[in-house]
Amino acid sequence: MYDIKALYEAESTQDAIRLLQEHPQAQIIAGGSDVLVQIREGRRAGVELVSIYGIDDLRGVCLDETGAVRIGSLTSFSHIAASPIIQEKIPVLGEAVSLVGGPQIRNIGTIGGNTCNGVTSADSASTLMAWDAVVEIEGPEGTRRVPIREFYINAGVVDLRPAEVQTAIIIPKESYEGYFGNYIKYAMREAMDIATLGCSVNVALSPDKKEIRDARIAFGVAGPVPMRAPSAEKAAKGRPVSAETAEIFSRAVLEDIRPRDSWRAAKAFREHIAVETAKRAFEKSILLGGGVISEQAV
Amino acid sequence: MSRQYKQICCTINGKKREAMVDVRASLTDLLRNDFRLTSVKKGCEVGECGACNVLINGECFNSCIYLAVWADGKDILTLEGLEGPNGEISDIQQAFIDEAAVQCGFCTPGAIMSAVEILNEERELSDEEIRIRMSGHLCRCTGYENIFRAVKKTMLKRLEAKK
């Protein structure tokens, strides 16, 4: 038995908002793979829960009328990875969420839960950051949309106000069209492990594939929340596709990231793998985009 | 505060079932205590070891971190549901025996249910795919290689039989 004081099951998003207003102390439970474990550990013992797990309207991946990829917040990681839309438009997101936990966790874990718990190591988060995803939130005042970079406030703190529910994650067409990306999870095991560091890179090349039209990069576990590395992005933009550019790009991430020492890894080690994963993910993204990396310096 | 219960209806191993569920119960609690389906093991109880794995609507879930009330309307399959009409065991269970994929046996029901999910796809998975799909199970007797062999053998056998 879980130490749960009360459970309120929401049948719709509006119902969830109403329940959260009626029970201001209650916390939201989606798939529960974090919340239930925290209750078991005693960290959230005695909680009141509003379960949104039964709201099927919040499941599924579709293209909206603007061509944006819309992922319902309760869509499981395995359903995201299996979605033909994700495979066609943003395959790296499917690859990233296929590295979460193990198969059973990917069936219960939701992308909404992965982002709302505000954890820096979330495997979906750095890729969503790197693709300028937008978070859709419904609450008593209506619907609002927040860029995911602003959604994350601090470790474990996201921009969810009282009685609000995250309903979808949206990747606008201009954010994915022409971009190719790669995610590298650095962890001790290949399954059932949390990232020591996660690095998601994507690039858009010029029509002749010789120049970096745009480069975007985000890290998990390089700071208290998932974060972009704007210095690296600026350093690569407009440069030729070359080994030197990959070098400049990956070195520049050190200007932005703020990893810490933890039992999982030392700060210096995280900095080292941040540079290395940035370089590898950058090179892989270029290859996926049809570019060829020349060896000689330009 | 008084205890909170909910009436649920679900299908367990092909039979329609009803239960009055304590909202604090996990699906493991429900299956073991209410229906005596003790193949569903209590291992880590935090979703890491896979010993409590069952199929819900055809997908694998660690029942220890699945609220029992969520089972309402779902189709649940546990290892007991693999039993044939005359009490015979299934091909995947036999393969686990033949390949010595069972030592202490605690992880076995959960591992077999992941294998069932794979076999139900009726396609040939690569070795790497099988390893990834079986990666949500901890086996402290270190039978991983034998488990892998049992799953692969059964997959190939079934595909061969379909030809």
Interface residues from chain B to A (CB-CB < 8 Å): 1, 4, 6, 22-26, 29, 45-48, 50, 53, 59-62, 65-67, 69-70, 114, 117, 132-138
Mean pLDDT across B146-151: 98
Lowest mean pLDDT of A149-153, A271-275, B137-141, name the range.
B137-141
Nearest CB to A40 within list B45, B61, B133:
B45
Same domain, A121 and A211: no
Confidence label for A296 from pLDDT (cuts 50, 70 and 90): low
Query: B158 to chain A, minimum CA–CA distance in Å?
Result: 23
The reply to whether A258 falls in a domain is: yes
Nearest CB to B29 within list A1, A9, A51:
A1
Looking at the structure of chain A, the number of domains it has is: 3
A211-266 tens-digit pLDDT: 999 999 999 999 999 999 999 999 999 999 999 999 999 999 999 999 999 999 99
The reply to whether A298 falls in a domain is: no
Same domain, A202 and A132: no
Helix (H) or strand (E) holding A183: strand A180-186
* pLDDT value of residue A186: 96
Same domain, A159 and A188: no
Boundary residue ending a domain (A132, A156, A175): A175
Same domain, A145 and A68: yes
Q: In the block, which residue shows the tokens 């049809």?
A: A290
Mean pLDDT across A4-21: 98
Domain that holds residue A8: 4-51
Same domain, A111 and A135: yes
The reply to whether A293 falls in a domain is: no
Same domain, A34 and A82: no
- CA–CA distances in Å: residue B70 to residues A34, A277, B17, B33, B81: 16, 40, 14, 17, 20
CB contact under 8 A, B135 and A41: no
Task: Tell me: pLDDT of A295 over 90.
Answer: no
Domain of residue A210, CATH code: 3.30.390.50
The reply to whether A208 falls in a domain is: yes
CB contact under 8 A, A32 and B26: no
Search chain B and give the residue with CA nearest A109.
Answer: B61
Nearest CB to B53 within list A36, A51, A104:
A104
* pLDDT value of residue A297: 52
Q: CA A32 to CA B67: how far, in whole Å? A: 8
Confidence label for A298 from pLDDT (cuts 50, 70 and 90): very low
Domains and CATH numbers, chain B: 5-78 (3.10.20.30), 91-162 (1.10.150.120)
Percent of chain A at pLDDT > 90 equals 97
Domain of residue A147, CATH code: 3.30.465.10
CB contact under 8 A, B48 and A32: no
Mean pLDDT across A59-82: 98
CB contact under 8 A, B70 and A78: no
The reply to whether A295 falls in a domain is: no
| B132 vs A contacts (CB less than 8 Å) | 103, 191
Same domain, A163 and A67: yes
Residue A225's contacts (CB-CB under 8 Å, 6 or more residues apart) are A118, A120, A152, A153, A154, A155
Domain of residue A18, CATH code: 3.30.43.10
The reply to whether A129 falls in a domain is: yes
Task: Tell me: pLDDT of B33 over 70.
Answer: yes
Boundary residue ending a domain (A175, A203, A218): A175
Boundary residue ending a domain (A148, A175, A202): A175
Same domain, A136 and A123: yes
Question: ipTM for the complex?
Answer: 0.96
Same domain, A36 and A132: no
CB contact under 8 A, B62 and A78: no
CB contact under 8 A, B66 and A37: no
The reply to whether A297 falls in a domain is: no
Termini Cα distance of chain A: 65
CB contact under 8 A, A7 and B4: yes
The reply to whether A251 falls in a domain is: yes
Residue type, position A187, single letter? A
Same domain, A102 and A10: no
Mean pLDDT across B137-155: 94
Same domain, A166 and A93: yes
CB contact under 8 A, A191 and B136: yes
| A29 vs B contacts (CB less than 8 Å) | 67
Mean pLDDT across B126-138: 97
B72-118 tens-digit pLDDT: 999 999 999 999 999 999 999 999 999 999 999 999 999 999 999 99
Same domain, A84 and A170: yes
The residue among B81, B94, B107, B100 whose CA lies nearest residue B154 is B94
